[in-house]
């Protein structure tokens, strides 16, 4: 919840909810339908007297199909179906109202008290709620009806009591969410009574959640009312009810199958109106709670769009990314997140990519494997790996590359392991797939791999689950898994970020060792300059979706040629003197879509001049093989 | 389902759930007793009708133990119930436990059949809709809505019209015991099971889809993919396995709902099960029988919850190896 939203008066929120709900055509038609049903329930028994007590109609016209005289036909006793349907509306609506009044009357106060007071009242209430969920609702209601025959209020009140726990739960959790909101605290501090605060401030705010649940439960109550009437337990004959009319219809199913349709559709449409109303109310409610959130799209990897082919540059590199562009679809159109990025790495080399979060480093790695999150798409450039452009490979072809030729380890190794499978099983799966070995060989190989990443007790680790490992062990396991296919390139996405400093060093040592013994290239992404300086031979610095500097590790460390690199180096805690205030870079990385014209670092740069904002800054290649995206490179060199 | 009850290794979970079950049974039985004591008239009146003498009522009251205070009546009933004696049906004069035992197989066939059918179909649809994108997902939503708003008894009646009357593929009503003829038994169950399954299928499919989408978007699935796990392994070994907890929860809830559903299916299809027994005894005001069937249904719910909890610990290594 944002601060601005927290300050917003709850009463205002309440009226906004109603107004927004009424803006939805679906909600309006559902409400209109329910109002009509309610009116029919009130008027029909008055306008059509005698129907309720009518035992038989015209016995010469039984089981008739719909006609002008009888719009919905007649039943087995010659009574008009439409008249009975209209008159039977009342008993249905009254039953629903009885249940709803009870479940709101019990559920809302108990839920508010449990959420607002907490403590032992809350515990007892939730315990009773759990108990109530295990009670067979319809069975208990039938028990009640066997004691109080055809007593609808008794049945529907019982049903209301049994359904109330659902309201208790919803009200309680909605109350918990706002119990400690600033305006509630303010009210409490100013000495207002708990009852006043709850009724004035809490109740309006939880009403959205309650309305959603009540409209759903109204549908449930209607279904139960119709069901009990269908079982002849609720409404004494000959009075019509929707459920009872379905029962009448089933008695003559063989000769007059039409008869179950009018009451069946009346039940279904009314339940539909209640549940659709609930659905729309939920949408409106969540919209209000998080106004800025856009609907989450779970995109699949869509076919890359046609874009101008980038000519291949002759290269001896193992992997060569050239002019890579990645964009995401948003409501405002496509937003570029990675812009013309070129990175290369040779066989057996360890190369770093450094930059703050949000610079596009991880996206670049994801693009290499064809695993861009959400609706991300490669919109330009090429990714050459062993003579193939990965950008244009099919999903099937990419599956042949993942793990076998290019593997990935990531930041939080623990959540990167399947929590439900033993470590050994997760390794064996990949070993078998990559090597085609049988189960037994794969099992032995899995233990070997765990030993290769220097896990002290590989057999025991293989039998463990992820939650039984420490963070460092989990990252070793993740590395072992990445080695399963003997890849020639390992992508390491912030592999040490979540770890203690001593463990970090061990993991980096391990990566360096594996790279040299296996001749495996490692592309290491990090925001931590220390990690990069420790192991990398060359470094790419990224900022706002661009590479801003590229050089071998030592020169860039000694004399950075981009103000951003320099600022990053100064902000590295390892280089600061003890007792000195830590340097940090003022400002934040601009989000994709908010990049300025010209140099993207200008707003945070100490040496920016007016021409930095004029046009896109190109990457300048320097004679010593370095490159930088800064107009003031001479000053930087000086 | 109570999450507070599912921590700790299997034994502890079972013990805790059994304690909960005991309390639940006591609550339901006390409830039915108190409700009964509040009603005007009593069993003696039901049995003798209104034409008997006062002395006859008093004598029968004494014989049935109805002259004792309510709590003593309850303890007497409880003692007998623990020994398997749930009293005698006022209407038929048969022991309640005997009638329940006779009809239990019918309801069990129905509930287990519906549970199996809807789990297999529901999980299947859910998985496909999670893997194959939005159109099928929307279809599942529509199916869920239809299954929710169409009453099961109405669906049952319409199924009879279509498959028994028009197409004449299956019998309209009645039950054939498994021992008499396995194929006829199966045929007599198809329509009742179908009438109960539509809603369950939709509910299970919906939950499966949501759980699968959650898992498929998780970090460990992304890493498994990145390191070359096969499609099948992603969907079944990693996906379905990790999605199984919420799926088991919803299946447990559906099982409880199905017990209530037997009341309707057995009435429409004239199956001699516990549901129709409950309705008939309620219509006859046969209180001991209603009470016995209610207790029996509660026991089954307790059992279902127990199975669900054990399944939790079995499916979730964090609970098993904590």
Q: Each residue of A192-250: pLDDT tens digit?
A: 888 888 888 888 778 888 888 999 999 999 999 999 999 999 988 889 999 999 999 99
Contact A399 B5 (CB under 8 A): no
Per-residue model confidence (pLDDT) at position B118: 95
Q: Using pLDDT thresholds of 50, 70 and 90, give the confidence band for residue A442.
A: very high
Lowest pLDDT segment from A107-116, A309-318, B28-37:
A309-318
Contact A420 B267 (CB under 8 A): no
pLDDT tens per residue across span A125-135: 988 888 887 77
Per-residue model confidence (pLDDT) at position B4: 42
Q: Using pLDDT thresholds of 50, 70 and 90, give the confidence band for residue B33.
A: confident
Long-range contacts of A234-240 (CB under 8 A, 24+ apart): A234/A95, A234/A145, A234/A150, A234/A152, A234/A155, A235/A91, A235/A150, A235/A152, A236/A150, A238/A52, A238/A53, A238/A54, A238/A55, A239/A52, A239/A53, A239/A88, A239/A91, A240/A51, A240/A52, A240/A84, A240/A85, A240/A87, A240/A88, A240/A91
Determine the Cα–Cα distance for residues A16 and A18; give it in Å rounded to an integer.
Answer: 5
**Cβ neighbour number for residue B82 with a 10 Å cutoff:** 8
Contact B305 A429 (CB under 8 A): no
pLDDT tens per residue across span A152-180: 999 999 999 999 999 999 999 888 888 87
Per-residue model confidence (pLDDT) at position A8: 47
Average pLDDT over residues A516-528: 93
Note whether B112 and B256 are same-domain residues. yes
Position B278 in a domain = no
pLDDT tens per residue across span B220-266: 999 999 999 999 999 999 999 999 999 999 999 999 999 999 999 99
Range of the domain at B169: 102-273
- Mean pLDDT (chain A, rounded): 86
Per-residue model confidence (pLDDT) at position B322: 52
Rounded to a whole number of angstroms, the distance from the CA of A352 to the nearest CA of chain B is 20
Note whether B115 and B227 are same-domain residues. yes
Per-residue model confidence (pLDDT) at position A3: 42
Question: Which residues between 309 and 368 in chain A have a beta carbon less than 8 angstroms from any beta carbon of chain B?
Answer: none
Nearest by CB: A275 against B148, B224, B263: B148
Report whether pLDDT(A306) > 60: no
Position B34 in a domain = yes
Report whether pLDDT(A136) > 60: yes
Q: How many domains does chain B have?
A: 2
Determine the Cα–Cα distance for residues B175 and A232; give it in Å rounded to an integer.
Answer: 22
The CATH number of the domain holding residue B208 is 1.10.3720.10
Most confident of A197-211, A336-350, B284-298: A336-350
Report whether pLDDT(B160) > 80: yes
Note whether B122 and B254 are same-domain residues. yes
Note whether B116 and B259 are same-domain residues. yes
Q: Using pLDDT thresholds of 50, 70 and 90, give the confidence band for residue B42.
A: low
pLDDT tens per residue across span A445-463: 999 999 999 999 999 999 9
Lowest pLDDT segment from A375-379, B5-9, B64-68:
B5-9
Report whether pLDDT(A297) > 90: no
The answer to whether B131 faces chain A, any CB pair under 8 Å, is: no
pLDDT tens per residue across span B186-218: 999 999 999 999 999 989 998 999 999 999 989
A261: tokens are 């349709």
**Cβ neighbour number for residue A498 with a 10 Å cutoff:** 18
Q: B91 or A45: whose pLDDT is higher?
A: A45
Report whether pLDDT(A386) > 70: yes
Position B254 in a domain = yes
Note whether B121 and B265 are same-domain residues. yes
Note whether B2 and B109 are same-domain residues. no
Note whether B34 and B109 are same-domain residues. no
Determine the Cα–Cα distance for residues B155 and A610; give it in Å rounded to an integer.
Answer: 75
Q: Which residue of A has its CA nearest to B266?
A: A231
Contact A233 B283 (CB under 8 A): yes
Q: Using pLDDT thresholds of 50, 70 and 90, give the confidence band for residue B174.
A: confident
Report phi then psi at A211, rounded to 5: -60, -45
Contact A139 B259 (CB under 8 A): yes
The 8-class DSSP code of residue B95 comes to B
The answer to whether B191 faces chain A, any CB pair under 8 Å, is: no
pLDDT tens per residue across span A3-14: 444 444 555 555
Handedness of CA B204, B210, B213, B218 (dihedral sign): negative
Note whether B146 and B248 are same-domain residues. yes
Note whether B112 and B257 are same-domain residues. yes
Per-residue model confidence (pLDDT) at position A303: 45
Question: Which residues between 20 and 79 in chain B have a beta carbon less than 8 angstroms from any beta carbon of chain A?
Answer: 20, 23-24, 27-28, 31-32, 35-36, 38-39
Note whether B118 and B248 are same-domain residues. yes
Position B70 in a domain = yes
Average pLDDT over residues A378-391: 91
pLDDT tens per residue across span B110-127: 999 999 999 999 999 999
Position B127 in a domain = yes
Average pLDDT over residues A542-570: 90
Per-residue model confidence (pLDDT) at position B25: 83
Per-residue model confidence (pLDDT) at position B75: 85
Q: B31 or A516: whose pLDDT is higher?
A: A516
Under 8 Å between Cβ of B196 and B110: yes
Number of inter-chain CB pairs under 8 A, A vs B: 219
DSSP output for B159-198: HIIIIIIIS--S-SS----TTT-HHHHHHHHHHHHHHHHH
- Using an 8 Å CB-CB cutoff, list chain B residues near A146: 281-283, 285-287, 290
Position B31 in a domain = yes
Position B96 in a domain = no
> In chain B, what's the furthest Cα-to-Cα distance?
87
Position B279 in a domain = no
Note whether B109 and B68 are same-domain residues. no
Rounded to a whole number of angstroms, the distance from the CA of A119 to the nearest CA of chain B is 16
- Using an 8 Å CB-CB cutoff, list chain A residues near B294: 136, 139-140, 143
Report whether pLDDT(A108) > 90: yes
Per-residue model confidence (pLDDT) at position A299: 41
Note whether B191 and B230 are same-domain residues. yes
Report whether pLDDT(A98) > 70: yes
ipTM comes to 0.86
Q: Using pLDDT thresholds of 50, 70 and 90, give the confidence band for residue B74.
A: confident
Q: Which helix (H) or strand (E) holds A324?
A: strand A319-330
A461 contact partners, CB below 8 Å, separation of at least 6: A423, A450, A455, A469, A473, A477
pTM of the model: 0.84
């Amino acid at each position: 919840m944002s601060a601005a939203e927290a300050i917003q008066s709850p009463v205002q929120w309440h009226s906004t909810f109603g107004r927004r709900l009424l803006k939805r055509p679906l909600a309006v038609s559902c409400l209109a339908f329910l109002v009509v049903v309610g009116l029919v329930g009130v008027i029909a028994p008055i306008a059509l007297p005698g129907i309720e007590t009518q035992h038989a109609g015209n016995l010469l016209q039984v089981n008739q199909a719909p006609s002008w005289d009888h719009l919905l036909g007649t039943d087995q006793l010659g009574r008009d179906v439409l008249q009975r349907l209209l008159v039977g509306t009342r008993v249905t609506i009254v039953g629903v109202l009885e249940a709803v009044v009870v479940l709101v009357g019990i559920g809302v106060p108990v839920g508010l008290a449990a959420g607002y007071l907490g403590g032992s009242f809350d515990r007892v209430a939730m315990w009773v709620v759990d108990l109530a969920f295990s009670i067979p609702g319809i069975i208990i209601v039938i028990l009640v009806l066997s004691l109080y025959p055809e007593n609808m209020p008794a049945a529907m009140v019982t049903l209301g009591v049994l359904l109330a726990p659902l309201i208790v739960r919803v009200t309680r959790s909605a109350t918990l969410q706002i119990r400690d909101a600033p305006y509630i605290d303010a009210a409490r501090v100013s000495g207002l009574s708990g009852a006043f605060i709850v009724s004035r401030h809490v109740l309006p705010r939880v009403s959205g959640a309650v309305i959603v649940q009540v409209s759903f439960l109204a549908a449930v109550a209607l279904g139960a009312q119709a069901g009990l009437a269908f079982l002849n337990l609720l409404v004494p004959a000959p009075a019509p009810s929707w459920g009872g009319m379905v029962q009448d219809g089933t008695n003559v199913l063989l000769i007059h199958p039409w008869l179950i349709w009018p009451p069946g559709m009346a039940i279904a449409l009314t339940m539909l109106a209640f549940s659709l109303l609930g659905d729309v109310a939920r949408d409106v409610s969540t919209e209000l709670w998080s106004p800025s959130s856009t609907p989450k799209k779970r995109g699949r990897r869509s076919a890359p769009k046609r874009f101008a082919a980038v000519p291949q540059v002759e290269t001896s590199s193992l992997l060569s990314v050239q002019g890579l562009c990645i964009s995401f679809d948003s409501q405002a159109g496509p937003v570029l997140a990675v812009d013309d990025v070129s990175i290369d790495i040779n066989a057996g080399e360890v190369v770093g990519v450094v930059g703050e979060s949000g610079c596009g480093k991880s996206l670049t790695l994801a693009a290499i494997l064809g695993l861009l999150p959400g609706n991300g798409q490669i919109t330009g450039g090429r990714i050459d790996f062993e003579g193939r452009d990965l950008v244009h490979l099919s999903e099937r072809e990419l599956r042949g590359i993942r793990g076998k030729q290019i593997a990935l380890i990531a930041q939080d190794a623990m959540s990167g392991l399947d929590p439900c499978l033993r470590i050994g099983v997760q390794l064996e799966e990949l070993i078998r797939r990559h090597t085609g070995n049988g189960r037994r060989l794969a099992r032995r190989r899995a233990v070997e791999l765990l030993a290769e990443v220097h896990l002290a007790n590989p057999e025991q680790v293989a039998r463990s689950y992820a939650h039984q490992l420490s963070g460092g062990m989990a990252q070793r396991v993740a590395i072992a898994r990445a080695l399963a296919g003997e890849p020639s390139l390992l992508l390491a996405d912030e592999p040490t970020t979540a770890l203690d400093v001593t463990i970090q060093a061990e993991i980096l040592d391990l990566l360096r060792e594996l790279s040299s013994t296996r001749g495996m290239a490692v592309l290491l992404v990090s925001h931590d300059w220390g990690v990069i300086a420790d192991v990398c031979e060359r470094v790419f610095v990224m900022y706002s979706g661009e590479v801003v500097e590229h050089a071998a590790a030592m020169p860039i460390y000694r004399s950075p040629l981009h103000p951003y690199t320099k600022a990053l180096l100064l902000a590295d805690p390892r280089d600061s003197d003890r007792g000195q205030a830590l340097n940090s870079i003022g400002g934040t990385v601009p989000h994709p879509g908010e990049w300025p014209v010209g140099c993207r670092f200008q707003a945070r740069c100490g040496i920016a001049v007016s021409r930095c904002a004029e046009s896109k800054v190109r990457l300048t290649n320097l004679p010593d093989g370095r490159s930088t995206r800064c107009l003031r490179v001479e000053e930087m060199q000086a | 389902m109570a999450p507070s009850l599912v921590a700790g290794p299997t034994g502890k979970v079972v013990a805790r759930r059994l304690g909960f079950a005991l309390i639940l049974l006591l609550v339901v039985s006390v409830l039915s007793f108190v409700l009964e004591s509040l009603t005007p008239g009593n069993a003696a009146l039901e049995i003798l009708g209104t034409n008997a003498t006062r002395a006859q009522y008093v004598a029968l009251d004494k014989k049935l133990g109805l002259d004792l205070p309510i709590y003593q009546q309850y303890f007497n009933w409880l003692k007998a119930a623990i020994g398997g004696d749930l009293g005698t049906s006022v209407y038929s004069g048969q022991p309640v436990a005997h009638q329940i035992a006779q009809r239990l197989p019918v309801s069990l066939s129905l509930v287990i059949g519906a549970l199996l059918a809807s789990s297999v179909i529901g999980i299947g649809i859910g998985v496909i809709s999670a893997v194959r994108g939005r159109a099928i997902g929307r279809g599942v939503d529509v199916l869920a809505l239809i299954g929710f708003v169409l009453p099961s008894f109405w669906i049952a009646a319409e199924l009879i019209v279509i498959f028994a009357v028009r197409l004449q593929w299956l019998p309209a009503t009645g039950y054939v015991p498994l021992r008499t003829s396995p194929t006829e038994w199966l045929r007599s169950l198809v329509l009742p099971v179908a009438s109960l399954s539509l809603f369950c299928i939709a509910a299970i499919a919906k939950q499966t889809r949501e759980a699968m989408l959650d898992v498929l978007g998780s970090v460990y699935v992304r890493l498994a993919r990145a390191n070359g796990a096969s499609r099948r392994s992603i969907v079944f070994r990693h996906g379905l396995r990790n999605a199984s907890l919420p799926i088991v929860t919803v299946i447990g809830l559906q099982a409880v709902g199905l017990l209530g559903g037997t009341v309707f299916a057995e009435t429409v299809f004239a199956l001699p099960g516990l549901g129709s027994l409950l309705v008939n005894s309620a219509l006859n005001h046969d209180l001991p029988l209603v009470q016995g069937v209610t207790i029996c249904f509660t026991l089954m719910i307790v059992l279902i919850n127990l199975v669900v909890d054990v399944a939790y610990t079995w499916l979730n290594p964090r609970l098993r190896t904590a």
